[in-house]
Structure 1
Amino acid sequence: MAKDKGIKILCDEIMCGLGRHGHGTLFLSEAWDLDPDCVTFGKAIGGGAFPLSGAILKSGRDVLGGQGRSVMQSHTFAGSSARALMTGTEVLKEITEYMPSIAKLGEEMKVITDYLTSLADGMLGFQGHGLMWGCLFTHNGMHKEEGLRSRAITTFRKHCEAIGIIPYFVPVGGFMVTPCYDTDVGTIYEIGEKLEEAINLTMKEIGWKQEAVAPPMRKEVVVDINPTVVEVKALPADGAICNTAYHVSKTCTSCSSFVCPDKRQRFLRTTFA
């Protein structure tokens, strides 16, 4: 519709691009077939250590570079760095190797965030995919009064600090969870457990709801999850070696090598008394 009216389309993929979105392409706009006129990217391209970002344009490069126009990255240590360019080159060489595990961890994050959303009983809600997830404190219930909503956010932040987690808090009243690409699946569930603890403590302190009691955990099961099927199956015999593509990247959930099956099973619960 925009293109029909001559409007240029810009996709800002500085945070979600370079595979983080979990759809198996370098950029989300490609996965969604948006055909933008320009894509901006950054952050991951510098390996987390170098001030490097960029833009891909279909046209207009000469106009951008003409008549004294210039582009300067706003960064304390900005400048021409050969090491940044070398890092960016190596990132592009290796990034595709992480895409299957990013997608797999995204499925696990969906299980965790669905559980946490149900646990929170309307206090907050999650959305996202791949390894990019966001949470907002709602305006429901007692949060219709902005002062009480602000108190809930402050309380949650306090408990996060006490527990030892540092979500990326945003001014609109929420936070982001963006694990590193090489995070193992056990750490993903540890993130879930710590967020669960902070949510429970916050709900109890502000009087939203009493702390939920976790259900009894089933023994000797693995829950294999994909976007459409949930299958519960027996664990392999002791000493059996998992033979999946996820084992090398420590994202395998077909065995108990990287995450406790009981822990993972518990997060499938989405109803609370």
Structure 2
Amino acid sequence: MTTDTTPISATDLEAGRRAHELDRAHVFHSWQAQALFQPMTVLAASGSYVWDGDGNRLIDLSSQLVNTNIGHQHPAVVAAIQEQAGRLCTVAPQHVNDARSEAARLITELTPAGLDRVFFTNGGADAVEHAIRMARLHTGRTKVLSAYRSYHGGTQLAVNVTGDPRRFANDYSAEGVVHFMPAYTYRSYFGSTTEEEETERALRHLEDLIVLEGPTNIAALILETIPGTAGIYLPPPGYLAGVRELTHRFGIVLIADEVMAGFGRSGAWFAFDHWDLEPDLVAFAKGVNSGYVPLGGVAIRDEIAATFDERAYPGGLTYSGHPLACAAAVATITAMREEGMVDNAARLGREVIGPRLREIAERHPSVGDVRGLGCFWAVELVKNRETREPLAPYGGSSPAMTELTAALRTGGVLPFVNFNRVHVVPPLNIPDDDLHAGLDVLDEALSVADAHVG
């Protein structure tokens, strides 16, 4: 599917320049100080490549926002969208359409037994919003527990549930959210020196918080199975099982946020499959159709769905289960199965990304930690390995990270950079040669970061 060359003509370059001018004049970008932002123009994309506004080809190790799990312009998905547009572009959500029905069937084949219903949304944030609403209505409780160092979306409730600095400017206690410290072995909040200690202490902290907040007040606990933009830090052994036991014991709905980690990203269909976790609600988006058309949703445990058998669910949206988006999901899941992409993601993590990042870490003193699964990895950069002082402050960037990002771009890689980390999150079907080439660029660029080690 990947092409080594996509011709970028003079006409394309001029159209890109015009697009950039119009963007700067009229487009208001998310998460940006508008006057300071200098966005990159994308003229074309194919497979694991994008071409920027100057016609430069870049290996996309970001999968955009970690959502193009099947790469760019997969022909089967493009054809499915085109075919669906020719038959039925849109329909109101109260009507049945075959694309939505089939997408729901395929998704529930992948979820644990007993999660047999799907509510479709436009993306991950509103999936989180609706999952919490369902939990509150099902339990009759209000409070929601979520971890610090997490991200759950940019809408009002979702950004309050979020546990990273993007929450700060929009933080309202009226949303009923209580945050807890996550299990994060590399930067333990509990003084742990082993994974076993981290699991035991993090679970004790969570149980204490539940008791002190009043279990009968808590509707849900939401957790990214593997946190994404917060650092791709894996739960230590036994942690997720312990969280599940606490939620069972106290009658709390467990919501797994699989928006970024789901649909093959970690080398399993859902990240919770690695730990045999069975949540009550699953929020998903991104990889379900690789973002070709906006789509998200909530997979719902049967007993929660039954709450609304004789009682109307008070929520909905015009584009729930949009035919174009659902057709893209059907084609994406089918292509992932037929082409073995989930197994390939596991192989890439096991045989290529993991070994290579560990080898890179041995040579670069700026690398404090590497961690991940499948095509979902983080390289955490530090000024000092002993103190673990980050190369950029929590919630911000630094000249060192700016220089590193520029070096990666100059070397021909489009990276995913957040705070003091570079995330290695390529498409699940990236050719091995492209992946090796991208990791070569990262290896060379890290000399820039090494220069800032004290």
Do both proteins adopt the same fold according to a TM-score greater than 0.5, normalized to the shorter chain?
yes
Q: Deviations over 1:147-177 (max 9, x none)?
A: 798332222122223223221122x422322
Per the alignment, residue 358 of structure 2 pairs with 114
Counterpart residue number, 1:192: 439
Shift of 1:139: 5.8
For the pair 1:12 / 2:12, whether they are aligned, the reply is: no
CA distance in 1, matches of 2:250, 2:348: 39
Unaligned runs of 5+ in 2: 1-244
Aligned to 2:327: 86
Residues 87-236 of structure 1 mapped to structure 2, 5 A cutoff: 87-96=328-337, 97-107=340-350, 108-138=352-382, 140=384, 144=389, 150-170=398-418, 172-204=419-451, 206=452, 208=453
- How far is the alpha carbon of 1:5 from its aligned partner? 1.9
Aligned to 1:254: none
The one-letter amino acid of 1:164's match is G
Selected match of 1:36 from 279, 302, 308:
279
Separation of aligned partners in 2, 1:47 and 1:199: 29
CA distance in 1, matches of 2:297, 2:256: 12
TM-score, normalised via structure 1 length: 0.64
Residue in 1 that maps onto 2:297: 54
Q: How far apart, in 2, do the equivalents of 1:177 and 1:71 lie? A: 36
CA contact (8 A) 2:263 2:288 kept: yes
Cα 1:67–1:105, aligned 2, differ >3 Å: closer, same or farther? same
Q: Which moved more, 1:150-159 or 1:193-202?
A: 150-159
1:90–1:124 CA distance, 2 compared to 1 (3 A) = same
Write the deviation string for residues 22-54 of structure 1: whole angstroms up to 9, x where unpaired: 1xx421212311111111111111233110111
Equivalent pairs counted in the alignment come to 200
1:253-268 alignment runs, 5 A limit:
none
- Post-superposition CA distance 1:204-224 (Å, at most 9, x none): 3x3x38xxxxxxxxxxxxxxx
Alpha-carbon contact 1:159-1:202 (below 8 Å) kept: no
Question: Which residue of structure 2 aligns with residue 259 of structure 1?
Answer: none
Cα separation, 1, equivalents of 2:445 and 2:292: 30
Question: How far, CA to CA, are the matches of 1:4 and 1:83 in structure 2?
Answer: 42
The Cα shift of 1:72 comes to 5.1
Look up the match of 1:242.
Answer: none
Give structure 1 stretches of 5+ with no counterpart.
210-273
Secondary structure of 1:19's aligned partner: coil
Q: Helix, strand or coil for the counterpart of 2:279?
A: coil
Q: Is the 8 A contact 2:392 2:401 kept in 1?
A: no
Q: Within 1, Cα distance between the matches of 2:433 and 2:328?
A: 28
Tell me which amino acid in the other structure corresponds to 1:31.
H
Report the 3-state secondary structure (helix = DSSP H, G, I; strand = E; otherwise coil) of the residue aligned with 2:298: strand
Evaluate the alpha carbon distance shift between residue 67 and residue 138 of structure 1 in structure 2; reply closer, same or farther with a 3 A threshold: farther
Q: Relative contact order: is structure 1 or structure 2 higher (C-alpha 8 Å, sep ≥ 6)?
A: 2
1:27 corresponds to which residue?
270
What is the SS of the residue equivalent to 2:336? helix
Residues 74-101 of structure 1: CA distance to partner in whole angstroms, max 9, x if unpaired? xxxx676312111111222232321221
Using the alignment, how far apart are the partners of 1:147 and 1:27 within structure 2? 31
User: So what's the TM-score if we normalise by structure 2?
Assistant: 0.40
User: How large is the RMSD of aligned CA atoms in angstroms?
Assistant: 2.9
Query: Deviation of residue 60 (structure 1)?
Result: 2.5
Bigger helix fraction = 2
Q: 1:26 to 1:80 in 2, by over 3 A?
A: closer
Q: Secondary structure at the match of 2:355?
A: helix
8 Å CA contact retained: 2:368, 2:388: no
Contact 2:382–2:391 under 8 Å retained in 1: no
Preserved CA contact (<8 Å) 1:135 1:176: yes
Q: Post-superposition shift, 1:187?
A: 1.1
Identity %: 20
In 2, Cα distance between equivalents of 1:98 and 1:166: 22
CA distance in 1: counterparts of 2:346 and 2:299, whole angstroms:
25
Structure 1 residues 83 and 180, CA gap change in structure 2 (3 angstroms)? same
Are 1:20 and 1:130, in contact at CA under 8 Å, matched by a contact in 2? yes
